[in-house]
Structure 1
Amino acid sequence: MLAAAWIGIRGFLAVNELQAAVPLAKAAQKQIVAGDAAAAQRAADELAGHAASAASLTGDPIWRGAEVLPLVGPNLEVVRVVSASVDRIARDAVVPLAASAGAVDLAAFAPSGGAVDLQPMIDLQAPVHEARVAFDTASLALDGVADAPVIAPLVDARDELTRMVEETGGTVTGFDNAVRLLPPMLGADGPRDTLLLFQNNAELRSLGGVPGALALVHADGGTVTMTQQSAASEFPVYRPTVIDLPIETRALWGDNTASYMQDVNFTPQFPLAATIAREMWNRKFGTEVQAVVAVDPVMLSYLLRATGPVTISTGDQLTSENAVQFLLRDVYARYPVSQQDAIFAEVATAVFTTLASGGADPAALVEALAQAGSERRILIWNADVEEQAVLAGTTIAGGLPESTADEQAFGVYLNDMTGSKMDPYLDVQIGAGTVTCRNDGLPNYDIVVKLTNTAPADAATSLPTYVTGGGEYGTPPGSIATSVHVYSAQGTYNLGVLLNDEPTGYHPTSDSGYTLSKVVSTLAPGESAEYRFGFLGGSAGEKHTLIESTPLAYTPETLGVALSCESPLR
């Protein structure tokens, strides 16, 4: 009886401490980002006091011993784990970051006068990494009690803290990666050369779009200059290929992936595409770069929110609102082919020059880069193995989708097969669903990809031949031919593909151990095709589905997917 009273009183006090701690954690987070060192330190110290008290109240041997009791035990365990997690985050994440809040000045991370002051980033490496470890540890602990049968108030508290840890922890992880990678990439340890690939979403490739324009960026001690530019069309065809391609890559995409600069990103694996592009640049110009970065016009439009409008020699003014329309449609309608590459290069130079000179709003710049990274519109590969390891598993690494114990990840990759710039007229909708129909509990997953050609009915004559392709590769002018590759997870099985609810031919194969299915769609103006890709899970139990897809000129609409055990794919 005395032990029960002891636990009850301490539990009541611990809950009060936690209720006081969570608002302080949110306040400290905002103040740290704002660089308000004094306010952040006050909130952090107060948070640490409440969190330490909660952890102390729930960590004694009597409490631990009671956790084995039926019914009440899981509740006590959750209170202890939540208290310990808040304490760990407060002690090892919030307090150290608050102490460094004065250095978290976004303006310090933006270029000024052609250079970036690298020291603030270097000074933040230790506290930010400690904070990342704290959030990772808390996340792991909370995962361990995610399904514990507890009373409703504890469910709400546990789930609220879990969401906060996931959201804030993801931000801290991204920040940790940035302060570790940016200094060496910007020349903190000596001169660095980086190859920029500007992907053009008007002609799709798995990783975004055809790399029409390229540039060499030289960094030394934080000083950054764009030293050389070229067009993909200026590169020769390399026979034999510049690297020996994996057998599966050759079977899927052909030797052109390592022979034509325009085709290096047919593969959805950016580290492979970057390695190929790096070798091609080296063979043509004799410079072996240390990193490759890919961006697209949509990312440039995000950067223009930070820089403001830029004007190029044609008199065109590009803004965040019109840049995508101009670069992916207007250029082809208004300027000859011979001038288009020069315009792309000039736009890239104008945005880069404005950024390097310090003419950008720091907060808007960070927001633009974060959004582009989450949408896979900026991809980074480093030749240095240790630096590349930092990127592993992030969206900017451009790897194949990674499933977890709770999530089934799929990849939907689109490639232009028209040989044209028709893809701004390709409307894409994607959805996923799951159902279990088998006695062994293996789940069925359906990935639905709906494609529509939105080009005008007279596209064959009203659009320039350079846009339609002119039928040069066998696709009628105005039509859009697209290859669709849907990657499932390792250990899953192909079950076929439906086209508009009827079985259709497809190519089942694999890549790097991933199961995948491929179809090729050809659509005349106004036509639609809905493909349903079926896969059987490799282990019992349904998982939440995630889809990574080729970045388009817009965000594709998400389809609602209803599944039935009566489907031909079962």
Structure 2
Amino acid sequence: MIAAVVWVGVKANTIKSALDSAAGLVPQLKQEIVASDAQSASSTVMQLREYTSSARQATEDPVWTLASVVPWIGPNMSAVSEVSRSADDVASLGLIPLVKVYESLNWDALVPSPSGADIEPLKIAAPSVASSAYAVRASSDRLERIDTTLLLPQVAGPLNQAIDELKQASSALSSAADAASIAPAMLGAEGPKNYLLVIQNNAEARASGGIPGALAVLTLEDGRLSLGAQSSASDVGTFTPSFPVDLQQQQIYSTRLGKYMQDVNLTPDFPTAAGTAQAMWEKKTGQRVDGVISIDPVALSYILQATGPVAINGPELAVVKSAGLPNELTGSNVVQTLLSDVYAKIQQPKLQDAYFSGVAKEIFSALSKGKGEGKALVAGITRGAEEGRILLWSATADQQSVLSKYSISGSVSGPSVSPAQFGVYFNDGTGAKMDYYVKRTVQLIKECPADGYEQTTVRVTSTNTAPRDAATSLPAYVTGGGAFGVPPGTVQTNIVVYGPVQATVESAKVDGQRTPFAPYIHASRPVGVVSQQLTPGESRSVDLTFGKIVQHTEPNLVVTPTVQPVKDVILPNENATCGDR
């Protein structure tokens, strides 16, 4: 008996040492992957596998297995066995295949170029990435099924840490597997794909970012990118009768959603906006596009940081060159140029449209020529997508089903929406370009529970930073000139706030005083709308309180991407002081 106890102790030390050594290699492996050092990463993974294999073999020892059924200590030993098996499965079935295909991927070769991006390695890698994702997900699920209430703290602590790390790894790998499964076809590997490119103008807010301005058809074929027909939202015209939109959204946002291209994204639900935009484009031009891509000038700045400056010298820009706008656009000047300077220096809307179209042509021409470093470009596009500045919709159902899992889909319902998600969206009511001057912060305040339910207040603070003499110092095209009943220099905004599914919107306040609001329902989510006007220099806070919240997870927040950095808009959550109850 004593010998068996000693033997188990020896095995326990072996397992602990092996798992500690394997864990110690993980940061090194991450650094090697980030540095694209595939050879070193492969070597590190093989060392890691040696350690996990050693730990697994130790747990399969007959004495260890027998001791695992002993009351009290048995569950702890079984948990250690599961951790060891999972670690070895992750190494052998997850990491080793993944690193092997990673070696074959050349990020620069995936960047569009005149000869086309090399998509074949991505197609070849897709099954291995999917297999790796499955192995890690299975290991994560297996560990989550362990009852930690029976475990010693020395075992439960590392187990919970392993579960958290595997969840993160599983999420990342599942995303990679999904991307690898649809990216080749969407990049034109199976035939050319045409996408309607919509550049949203954040100077005039719409729920998903800004009013659609410049439009173009973006064609992808075997990784080659080309920009086809260019137009503007105003050129698409008015549709009577309007395109049908579901009744819930029509009640909130009116039939304008289906009447004007400029208003398709009054709704924050991008699949709705994109599907309508596709139908409008087909009705206007006869061309049915395969999807819709939306991007804003801030995201363009991220792309220009990767490609470097682009010269503005197209023949179609000759008329506006004399306006004194920059001869080249960079990541530093493109936002101010497109959202402010162009209106100050070019008065005619048609020439403004020409400038926007010319800029889009030059930027995507740089992309089509493979200008810029691959990883930097991927990083810029990823950042834009994470901030909601790049949105993507596919008309192919299977592809859209995958996209709907992620925030890049811009959906207000479905798998991409977390259980306790709030959404704050802004729609311009000025009919002008004054949102360039509005600074906002948004914060969630968790109130004291009521009647057994969670309560949360969404606080939106807005400031009109336009100059005091904006009515006369800014162009009428920027202020609106009072054409829609809003005094020049004043900004009118419809603030639209979504709560979690099945909750209710209880009340609204402006600067602490109760105010009327319009309550709606969209996709089983409560919606509250408050209209607000701000004169130059004026600041106000709008609070919308949601109750009957059944979700007990930590709430999160999605907001309309504006000219401001998202990190400056979304403030940390705050908890009310509730006291003993």
Question: Is the shorter-chain TM-score for this pair beyond 0.5, marking a shared fold?
Answer: yes
Partner of 1:504: 515
- Partner Cα separation in structure 2 for residue 430 and residue 67 of structure 1: 52
- The verdict on how the C-alpha distance between 1:50 and 1:520 changes in structure 2, with shifts beyond 3 A counting, is same
Partner of 2:380: 368
Match among 342, 345, 350 for residue 334 of structure 1:
345
- The verdict on how the C-alpha distance between 1:106 and 1:15 changes in structure 2, with shifts beyond 3 A counting, is same
Partner of 1:307: 307
Residue by residue over 1:235-279, the C-alpha shift from the partner in whole angstroms, topping out at 9 and shown as x without a partner, is 12101122x211101101111101100001111111111100001
Pairing of 1:117-516 with structure 2 (within 5 A): 117-144=118-145, 148=149, 154=155, 157-158=158-159, 160-242=161-243, 244-313=244-313, 314=321, 315-336=326-347, 337-400=349-412, 408-438=420-450, 440-516=451-527
- Partner Cα separation in structure 2 for residue 392 and residue 559 of structure 1: 27
3-state DSSP of counterpart to 2:219: strand
Partner of 1:51: 52
AA aligned to 1:399 is S
Partner of 2:316: none
AA aligned to 2:408 is I
- The verdict on how the C-alpha distance between 1:502 and 1:40 changes in structure 2, with shifts beyond 3 A counting, is same
3-state DSSP of counterpart to 2:211: strand
Q: What displacement does 1:288 show? A: 0.5
> Is the 1:403–1:489 Cα contact (8 Å) retained in structure 2?
no
- Partner Cα separation in structure 2 for residue 77 and residue 484 of structure 1: 54
Q: What displacement does 1:234 show? A: 0.3
Partner of 1:106: 107
Partner of 2:318: none
Partner of 1:20: 21
3-state DSSP of counterpart to 1:369: helix
> Is the 1:436–1:542 Cα contact (8 Å) retained in structure 2?
no
Q: What displacement does 1:183 show? A: 1.2
> Is the 2:406–2:415 Cα contact (8 Å) retained in structure 1?
no
- Partner Cα separation in structure 1 for residue 484 and residue 539 of structure 2: 21
Partner of 2:570: 558
Give the unaligned 5+ runs of structure 2. 314-320
Q: What displacement does 1:55 show? A: 3.4
Q: What displacement does 1:43 show? A: 1.3
> Is the 1:33–1:101 Cα contact (8 Å) retained in structure 2?
no
- The verdict on how the C-alpha distance between 1:498 and 1:147 changes in structure 2, with shifts beyond 3 A counting, is farther
- Partner Cα separation in structure 2 for residue 263 and residue 187 of structure 1: 30
- The verdict on how the C-alpha distance between 1:59 and 1:334 changes in structure 2, with shifts beyond 3 A counting, is farther
Residue by residue over 1:68-117, the C-alpha shift from the partner in whole angstroms, topping out at 9 and shown as x without a partner, is 88875665455344333322321222100121232122112112225212
> Is the 1:25–1:94 Cα contact (8 Å) retained in structure 2?
no
3-state DSSP of counterpart to 1:294: strand
- The verdict on how the C-alpha distance between 1:241 and 1:143 changes in structure 2, with shifts beyond 3 A counting, is farther
- The verdict on how the C-alpha distance between 1:87 and 1:407 changes in structure 2, with shifts beyond 3 A counting, is farther
- Partner Cα separation in structure 1 for residue 118 and residue 305 of structure 2: 23
- Partner Cα separation in structure 2 for residue 225 and residue 403 of structure 1: 33
- The verdict on how the C-alpha distance between 1:89 and 1:467 changes in structure 2, with shifts beyond 3 A counting, is same
Partner of 2:540: 529
- The verdict on how the C-alpha distance between 1:43 and 1:346 changes in structure 2, with shifts beyond 3 A counting, is same
- Partner Cα separation in structure 2 for residue 429 and residue 71 of structure 1: 53
> Is the 1:114–1:356 Cα contact (8 Å) retained in structure 2?
no
Q: What displacement does 1:219 show? A: 2.4
3-state DSSP of counterpart to 2:248: helix
- Partner Cα separation in structure 2 for residue 64 and residue 421 of structure 1: 71
Residue by residue over 1:322-376, the C-alpha shift from the partner in whole angstroms, topping out at 9 and shown as x without a partner, is 1111111111111223311111111111111111111111111011011111111
**RMSD of Structure 2 on Structure 1 (CA):** 2.6
Give the unaligned 5+ runs of structure 1. none
- The verdict on how the C-alpha distance between 1:516 and 1:328 changes in structure 2, with shifts beyond 3 A counting, is same
3-state DSSP of counterpart to 2:54: helix
> Is the 2:508–2:542 Cα contact (8 Å) retained in structure 1?
yes
Q: What displacement does 1:56 show? A: 3.9
- Partner Cα separation in structure 1 for residue 359 and residue 563 of structure 2: 17
> Is the 1:406–1:543 Cα contact (8 Å) retained in structure 2?
no
- Partner Cα separation in structure 2 for residue 174 and residue 403 of structure 1: 13
Q: What displacement does 1:203 show? A: 0.8
3-state DSSP of counterpart to 1:264: helix
- Partner Cα separation in structure 1 for residue 471 and residue 73 of structure 2: 72
Residue by residue over 1:493-528, the C-alpha shift from the partner in whole angstroms, topping out at 9 and shown as x without a partner, is 222112212221111110011112111111111111
- The verdict on how the C-alpha distance between 1:140 and 1:482 changes in structure 2, with shifts beyond 3 A counting, is farther
Partner of 1:544: 554
Q: What displacement does 1:145 show? A: 5.4
Residue by residue over 1:278-321, the C-alpha shift from the partner in whole angstroms, topping out at 9 and shown as x without a partner, is 01110111110111111110110000111101121335321111
- Partner Cα separation in structure 2 for residue 311 and residue 241 of structure 1: 40
> Is the 2:202–2:211 Cα contact (8 Å) retained in structure 1?
yes
3-state DSSP of counterpart to 2:442: strand
3-state DSSP of counterpart to 1:176: helix
Equivalences, count: 563
Q: What displacement does 1:229 show? A: 0.6
> Is the 1:35–1:104 Cα contact (8 Å) retained in structure 2?
no
- The verdict on how the C-alpha distance between 1:199 and 1:135 changes in structure 2, with shifts beyond 3 A counting, is farther
Matched, 1:519 2:520: no
Q: What displacement does 1:482 show? A: 0.9
- Partner Cα separation in structure 2 for residue 460 and residue 180 of structure 1: 53
AA aligned to 1:547 is L
- The verdict on how the C-alpha distance between 1:236 and 1:16 changes in structure 2, with shifts beyond 3 A counting, is same
